A and B are shown apart, each in its own frame.
Chain A
Amino acid sequence: MEQFFQVTISGLATGAIFAIAAVGFALLWQTAGAINFAHGEFIMLPAVLILIFGEREPTLGIPDFVPLIGGINAGFTIPPMGMLAAFAVTIPIAIFLLGYVFKVSLVDKLLQPGGDDIPLVIATIGVGLFLREYVHEAWIATPQGFPSVFGNKVWNPWGVAISVDDVGVIVVCTVVIISLQVFLRRTYLGRQMQAAAQNAETARVLGIPVSRMVLYTFAINAVLVTIAALLVSPSVNARWDAGLNLGLLAFTAAIIGGFNQVRGALYGGLLVGVLQNWSGAYISNLYREAGPLLLLIFVILVRPQGLFGRAEERRI
């Protein structure tokens, strides 16, 4: 019985991270119609950046960050700054690259209203490949350990082993999701963003700057994936190919939950996390992902709008 609690709580922690990742993915899909196959790499990149800034001594300048040109060794080395500071530094970088640059250079150019969304899908697959291989060549070729910001202690209430990390993750994710909900529902800006997502034309008529609202959504997604990166990397390590697995599980969570609403992606994430741990513990650790993936196929078969999604509405 104790094992069941351990496995489930641990699963909820992982699930909470998937929930955050899934919410970000769902937001991009709903508000901009952008299906981002590089979402996993969007989590991997901040993880690597946080690690480099936090624990390594990066050389900022030509060689380290632009080795494509390579050769010259001009730059200055900065000392490791610790995980939390690194996190704070990575957030604006993520917002810029994964939010602004991504939106303006790709999404805006490739998503024409009434047109085909396949070029964007392909382009995001290209982005994923680019990020994976770049990180692999330039920064980390082998998996690197990633310290947890909550430490490694394990509590033992009632004989159930619960790690502080798991509790910390659940708390942080809860706060993040609640904040997001409050922001979207209770603030003026949040309601504007919802309006822009539901019906861009009407929103424009009402004077809402839709393009800017979409940009904010991309920025929010960038923050969410950075948070997810910080929280998930202790378990999966910082590796160049972490994105493949993480991305797939984030998509799975979003689709199972139903990405019509933030709530759907949230429940989907929790479900995927718990299911993954149950599969690992009670079937076989080798088939951990099988549980969520089989559920994904089942959900698409019987209820493609997701378990908590609404039918006949493909956007919010």
Chain B
Amino acid sequence: MQPDGFHEVEETVRGVLRDVLGISAERAAAFDEATPLFGALPELDSMAVAGVLTEVEDRLGIIIEDDEVDGDMLETFGALVRFAASKALT
């Protein structure tokens, strides 16, 4: 059972990926829990990761510490959303 606001966090993360990576709205709308991100999306290289994290921070009003960033939370759309939600909704 997802907490209130989860869907909003998900849509915010979707919007960040769309805006930062320059992905079309249709393509971003198709992202789901299992969609692979880092290593699979050519647009998401190491420079883009920094931009994605900063935009997620700015839009959700959270701080992401350097040591919290690992391959796991960037592996899929679902993992990134769950990470963002865990910081934004507690």
Does B associate with A?
no
Contact residues of A with B, CB < 8 Å? none
